[in-house]
Structure 1
Amino acid sequence: MLARLINTQEEGSPPMVECEARVNEIIHYIHENYNSSISLENLSKEFFVSKSRLSQIFKDATGFSIGDYIITYRIKRACSFLQSGMRVQDVSEAVGFRTSTHFIRTFKKRMNCSPGEFAKNSE
């Protein structure tokens, strides 16, 4: 991760260790708040960095856009909840989707099966 950041460092940008620390803080924030509304704008304000710079350092460090990382993490958590027997409606709320329809559509796109099918196959 650090090597990727070093290779893409711009003139006058913060030291790479600082960028890596910032990305780790952002990841920690996402993991702690994935069940609430998180946007690039929210993160930009929370971490006092421009949206474009935040997007750049995050993508350089992780290979994911911030939005894609959030969705991927939410789906990962959803899988755990579904395996524990939680209802699909409750899981969608627990992992931060506004509607169960959006959750089901996103889950199916990412996992190639519906949340219900995933839960059934996990039994």
Structure 2
Amino acid sequence: MIEYLPRSKHQAELYVTQFGAEECVPGHDFGPAVRNHYLLHYILSGEGTFEVGGTRYRLRKGQGFLICPEVVTYYRADSANPWSYCWFGFNGTLAEWHLKQAGLTLSSPILEYDRDDRISQYLEWMFESRDYAKSRETRLTGLLALLLSELAEFGPAAASGEKGSRAELYVDKVKDFIELNYDRNMTVEDIAHFIGLNRSYLCSLFKRTMNVSIQDYLIRYRMNKACEMMGNAELSIGDIARSVGYGDPLLFSKIFKKLKGASPKHYRSGTDVQ
């Protein structure tokens, strides 16, 4: 039972290429061979072996293995207790990132998931998506994303060497939060609460990593966004101020002039401030 799908023309970040399931006969094998996409196998019953990079893994029900693009692999069902498995083929610019969140990489290709039958449920839903004539591709991508989120939440932790430092993770969270919320009236305390760290500790960590305080980073980000909006003639200076989180246009103008060396009005017109 297998279904192949054409390459997505609309969803370059993450898309399904195939999925299926098979009850293997004793000794059934595949490879050595390479694939041009990611292929995630999950064992429903039985046993078998998976080989990649000179390492052989003995696997059973509740485990699985990841095949990465252009990597030689070989796998074989056990002769006495052959496995049955399902698989999900996919690709996209964010595929590797999603897999890393689940702790699955070329150097760590083994999946551990035995808490429930959710993975086989996602496979069933994928087959049932045939009923969605207009939106099947979107539904399949959504189901794949849900599957990967399940593995990230309950699968093995990503290798520490590939996660980056804890400081970098917290700094990235601060930057992401500011990017998504700079238009709101927020404080550094709000950011710290969202991330779940003590305000003083987070500020110290951010300053040490970025050589700028969170408050200054937020102000600079807002003013740079304001500069981008200056080209929109439909927006007044007050509109721009509110759009970057300042309810008081006078305060916005004062901060803008201090940072950019000209008032918003002069900056927009391109004339020098006197």
1 or 2 for the larger relative contact order (CA 8 Å, sep ≥6)?
1
Q: Displacement of 1:22 after TM fit?
A: 1.1
Aligned: 1:112 with 2:255: no
Distance in 2 between residues matched to 1:84 and 1:60, nearest whole Å? 37
For residues 53-105 of structure 1, the C-alpha deviation after alignment (integer angstroms, 9 at most, x for no partner) is 10011101111111111100000000000123221010000000120000011
Aligned to 1:27: 175
Matched, 1:66 2:214: yes
Identity %, equivalent residues: 26
CA distance, structure 1, for counterparts of residue 188 and residue 236 of structure 2? 29
Which of 239, 250, 263 is equivalent to 1:101? 250
From 24, 43, 65, the counterpart of 2:191 = 43
* TM-score scaled by length of structure 2: 0.38
Cα separation, 2, equivalents of 1:100 and 1:64? 25
Amino acid at match of 2:181: N
Q: In terms of mean alpha carbon deviation, does 69-78 or 33-42 score higher? A: 33-42
Q: Secondary structure at the match of 2:191?
A: helix
Residue 117 of structure 2 corresponds to: none
**What is the rounded CA distance, in whole Å, between the counterparts of 1:118 and 1:83 in structure 2?**
10
Letter in 2 for 1:107: F
Find the structure with the greater CA-based Rg.
2
Which structure features the higher share of strand residues? 2
| In 2: Cα distance, 1:77 partner to 1:38 partner | 16
**Who is 1:13 aligned against?**
none
Root-mean-square deviation (Å)? 1.6
Partners of 1:71 and 1:111 in 2: CA distance: 11
More helix by share: 1
Unaligned runs of 5+ in 2: 1-163
Q: Equivalent residue of 1:98, what SS?
A: coil
Candidates 238, 241, 244, aligned match of 1:92: 241
CA distance in 1, matches of 2:222, 2:174: 15
Runs of 4+ in 1 over 6 A off after TM superposition: none
Count of residues paired in the alignment: 108
For 1:32 and 1:84, the matched residues in 2 are separated by 21
The equivalent residue for 2:203 is: 55
Structure 1 gaps of 5+ residues are 1-15
The C-alpha deviation readout for 1:20-75, integer Å capped at 9, x for no partner, is 01110110110110010221211121111101110011101111111111100000
